[in-house]
A and B are shown apart, each in its own frame.
Chain A
Amino acid sequence: MPTLVLTNLTKRYPTGDLALNEVSLDISEGQVLALIGPSGAGKSTLIRCVNRLVEPTSGAIIFGDLDVTGMGSRTLRRMRRRMGMIFQEYALVERLSVMENVLSGRLGYVGFWSSWFRRFPREDISQAFNLLKRVGLDGMEDKRADALSGGQRQRVGIARALIQNPDLLLVDEPTASLDPKTSRQIMRLLGELCKERGLTAIVNIHDVPLARLFAERVVGLNSGAIVYDGSPQGLTPDVLTQIYGEEDWNATKGDGDRSMTQGDDSDGES
């Protein structure tokens, strides 16, 4: 049964840029989908349309049996609780403590005054402790977010998304500001958590090899349109060329002088 159905989703920014052009996509429950494509292909716009941080211009988004596009602000907030989001630059509130950042994932569930006085229900607190332990940040709850390293911050970001008890994870370039080792650790953690909790996830990712390793389905986006939809094994050099443009996908350094003289403007490493 598909959890998320996008139909002819189009987004045109006020500047006139067409970020998404009639995108249609079905994602079934429990599927981890990697969204790849060059910068500016519309990946971020697509996942921001799903929880309407970006207002789509036209098209429909159906989440479970709810029509996301037509929601009023109250129902929209209730719907956003069910979609956890993880960001590229972590997007933690830097001057809040780790615990407050994690608990901010419960804001959709608690009233204003209990959030103002930081009096969250006991279950939320113990869930926060469990999650912090699960992502490997045991005992860090009172550190300020800006005192953490990149990998630790992203772990907090993951805990914040998961404490919402979401059905769907929207993950925007989770590894773009991390080193290769931390990137793999974070991706592995995300994969495990999705499996443990049976989560559906859309993961925007720059790094094609990582996408190959961790996703069960890959969608390639170029100039706001889907150009590939299939298994990671199907990502042949031809397909990558279709997504990212011309580049010798097998050449490394000194492989003839082609890669030396031609501009290398793609983000996909080989």
Chain B
Amino acid sequence: MPVSRDSQGPVWRQRTRAGDLATWFTWLIGVALVAVCLSFISDKTIWEFVWSAPREAADLGSRMIPPDWSYSTQLWRPLWDTFNIATLGTALALGVSVPVAFCAARNTTPSTKLVRPIALFVIAASRSINSLIWALLLVVIVGPGVFAGVLAIAFRSIGFCGKLLYEAIEEIDVSPVEAVTATGASWEQILTYGVVPQIIPAFAGITVFRWDINIRESTILGLVGAGGIGLQLNASINNLDWSRVAVILIAILLTVILSEWLSAKIRDALN
């Protein structure tokens, strides 16, 4: 106990001496670990390149400015594709993740022994593979283009939405469900009257949240050929056409700001 007595009366410390030592020791280990990591990275780094970074940045800046504004007229289509990849991908993912989430939630799953582990595996598998890697695989399978992008976004989002959704389902208040069950309702009726009304806000929130992330993700899928503005970015970088790269970056910036503004508006409206 942190309270002890000595000749002058009671003494109080936040922690016992052992607790104090343990805390300091943990911090020491943590700091040492970070220091070791940094030194490994420093060994692997060619510092001349790092020191030349300001010069490099100035050089890059001078090539980017002025941006090639005339190129911006060719970006409408890629931006439209980017937007579609995110939106359709999110929609597709929701269509799949809702049933998966109901199967994964302990309180709504039809069977804990068989269906729930399968649903959880689907969620985990989808989540552990980054959308860029999904895109890499899908470009090989369905060919390069927007469709591969939509599928890549959808595959990654199933796990994300499914996980958040099933956690929301597991956290619902049980008393309305009990009340609906007590009226003699069937399983489907319990879901629609007892569970669904409680998770609608979470569902809407998750949708907007993931859509916002997906807009960002869909800007890079083009790097591996899965459509969207990343294609133009990749081409311009490969051609060292930096004044065009600058225009593309500004276009991405505006898109992301717009999507963030839009999702904030929707979120406010939902609350």
Asked whether A126 lies within 8 Å of B3 as measured between CB atoms, the reply is no
Contact A142 to B9, CB < 8 A, known contacts A100-B14, A118-B14: no
Tell me whether A129 is interfacial, beta carbon within 8 Å. yes
A220 smallest CB distance to B (angstroms): 39
Among A44-99, those with CB < 8 Å from B are 97, 99
The minimal Cβ–Cβ distance linking A228 to chain B, given in whole angstroms, is: 42
| Contacting pair A142 B2 (CB below 8 A) | yes
Q: Is the beta-carbon distance between B8 and A122 smaller than 8 angstroms?
A: yes
Distance of B160 from chain A, by nearest CB (Å): 30
A141 to B11, CA, bound (A): 12
B184: chain A residues within 8 A (beta carbon):
none
User: Which chain A residues in 118-137 approach chain B with CB under 8 Å?
Assistant: 118, 120, 122, 125-126, 128-129
Interface residues of A in 192-224 (CB under 8 A from B): none
- Decide: A125 and B10 in contact? CB cutoff 8 A: yes
Give A119's nearest chain B residue, CB to CB: B13
Residues of chain A with a CB closer than 8 A to B2's CB: 142
One digit per residue, 1 when the CB lies within 8 angstroms of any chain A CB and 0 when it does not, for chain B 12-23 equals 111000000000
Residue of chain B at shortest CB distance from A125: B12
Q: Is A126 within 8 A of B10, CB to CB?
A: yes
Which residue from chain A places its CB closest to the CB of B20 in the assembled complex?
A117
Q: How far is A122 from B9 in the complex, measured between Cα atoms in Å?
A: 9
Chain A, residues 101-129, CB within 8 Å of chain B (1/0): the string is 00000000000000001101010011011
Interface positions, chain B 1-45, Cβ under 8 Å from A, are: 1-3, 8-14
Selected from A118, A129, A142, the residue in CB contact (under 8 A) with B1 is A142
Q: Which residue of B lies closest to A99 (CB)?
A: B12
Q: Chain B contacts of A100 at CB under 8 A?
A: 14
B13 contacts which chain A residues (CB < 8 A)? 118
A122 proximity list for chain B (CB < 8 A): 8-9, 11
A-B contact pairs, 19 of them (CB 8 A): A97-B14, A99-B12, A100-B14, A118-B14, A122-B8, A122-B9, A122-B11, A125-B9, A125-B12, A126-B9, A126-B10, A128-B12, A129-B10, A129-B12, A141-B3, A141-B12, A142-B1, A142-B2, A142-B3
Binding site for B on A (CB under 8 A): 97, 99-100, 117-118, 120, 122, 125-126, 128-129, 141-142
Taking A117-B14, A141-B3 as given, write out 13 further A-B residue pairs in contact, using a Cβ cutoff of 8 Å, ordered by the A residue number. Answer: A99-B12, A118-B13, A118-B14, A120-B12, A122-B8, A125-B10, A126-B9, A126-B10, A128-B12, A129-B9, A129-B12, A141-B12, A142-B1
